[in-house]
């Protein structure tokens, strides 16, 4: 397993060791001891999974303290353009977003620390997206930044995404007062 750091502190790309043969492939998507050896000590308490058709956009979601979440995300089937937005006021990358392609082929995982908003757009039909969370979902702590906010200017790579009403009604980045 290899770890790649990014310019945002704590935002890590994990490239697992994949064993392939004529039967298919095998890899450990999570191993607490191996992650600890890499300096990742997060305890995960909830697993989530979604399936979406192509061009579905989910995000930008996060939970505020005391229910903030660290997430370990990956694609099981299909592909996504994954976006994270740094909401940590003291971070040198505050207000900046980062983009990654996660797919069933590259098997990359992304460790997203508490204090980031997260979203993705599916690049293929029947994309299955999986994420581990460090805290359970708490509906009263959930917040959403508008996916199409002009101030953060994210290029999602598609023209007419399929977006839920909840995500359409997110707040602007400018109006959000970060508790992180």
Q: pLDDT tens string for the chain (180 positions)?
A: 899 999 999 999 999 999 999 999 999 999 999 999 999 999 999 999 999 999 999 999 999 999 999 999 999 999 999 999 999 999 999 999 999 999 999 999 999 999 999 999 999 999 999 999 999 999 999 999 999 999 999 999 999 999 999 999 999 999 999 999
Task: For 139-163, give the DSSP string.
Answer: GGGEEEB-TT-TTT----S-SS-EE
Q: Which of these, 83, 75, 88, lies nearest to 58 by C-alpha position? A: 83
Predicted pLDDT of residue 108: 98
Catalytic residue set: 61, 131
Which tokens in the block code for residue 77?
A: 């089937």
CATH number of 2-168: 2.60.120.10
pTM of the shown model: 0.94
Which tokens in the block code for residue 75?
A: 């694609």
């Amino acid at each position: 397993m290899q770890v790649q750091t990014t310019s945002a502190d704590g935002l890590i790309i994990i490239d697992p060791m994949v064993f392939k043969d004529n039967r298919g492939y095998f890899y450990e998507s999570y191993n607490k001891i191996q992650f600890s050896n890499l300096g990742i000590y997060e305890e995960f308490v909830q697993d989530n999974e979604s399936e979406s058709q192509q061009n579905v956009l989910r995000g930008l979601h996060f939970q505020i303290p005391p229910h903030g979440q660290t997430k370990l995300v990956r694609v099981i089937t299909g592909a996504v353009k994954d976006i994270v937005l740094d909401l940590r006021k003291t971070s040198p990358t505050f207000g900046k977003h980062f983009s990654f392609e996660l797919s069933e082929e590259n098997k990359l995982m992304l460790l997203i620390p508490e204090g980031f908003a997260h979203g993705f757009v599916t690049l293929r039909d029947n994309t299955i997206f999986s994420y581990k969370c460090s805290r359970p979902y708490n509906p009263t702590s959930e917040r959403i930044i508008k996916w199409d906010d002009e101030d953060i200017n994210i290029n999602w790579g598609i023209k007419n995404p399929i977006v839920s009403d909840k995500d359409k009604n997110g707040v602007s980045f400018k109006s959000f007062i970060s508790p992180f």
